[in-house]
Amino acid sequence: MGILSGNPKDEPMHYGEVFGTWTFVSTTKGLIAGYQTMLNHAGDEDLHKLIEEAINQGQQAVKEVETLLKENGVGLPPAPPERPAACLDDIPVGARFQDPEIVASISKDIAAGLVSCSQIMGQSIREDIGVMFGQFHMQKAALGVKFLRLSKEKGWLIPPPLHHYKDKDC
């Protein structure tokens, strides 16, 4: 049996795993703070619920990865302060994020998060880390579908030009 053939939790993390997981926590903490701000700007109730789901999903992921980092003696990245709740009407119209802008921004973050999770999964030699980020990946993909559906239902999605190909021989 080799050095990496026992319980994965007893194996050391390699530098790529440490960097990837630490960066994931740092980035996710920043996104949570941003989403708390966007929550104050959201006017649509369905969007409000999805933003709360994104915040909760991020907080749960941070909690799990921070536990992993602590167990492996890795210092945790700092977190920005939580954002207070604000009344939408108190935000000047010209300073507000509009609902379609919020959906587009969070959808972009979800897409980037999918890439990040895939990268960590691919570089991990510890199965527990790969599985953890596989689960995060699935959760993010499911949340991304919810944001896409909401965008379509509310008419916020602006598709790129559609390509209609017709074979000339038909």
Give me the pLDDT at residue 91, please.
93
Domains and CATH numbers, the chain: 12-86+96-154 (1.20.1260.10)
Residue of 93, 103, 96 lying closest to 146 (CA atoms): 103
- Separation between Cα atoms, residue 47 and residue 49, nearest integer Å: 5
pLDDT(166) > 80? no
pLDDT(2) > 60? no
pLDDT(61) > 90? yes
Angle at 76 between CA 25 and CA 135, to 5 degrees: 35
pLDDT digits (tens, 9 = 90+) for 116-139: 999 999 999 999 999 999 999 999
pLDDT(97) > 80? yes
Average pLDDT over residues 13-22: 96
Whether the Cβ atoms of residue 48 and residue 42 lie closer than 8 Å to each other: yes
Residue of 14, 21, 9, 29 lying closest to 119 (CA atoms): 21
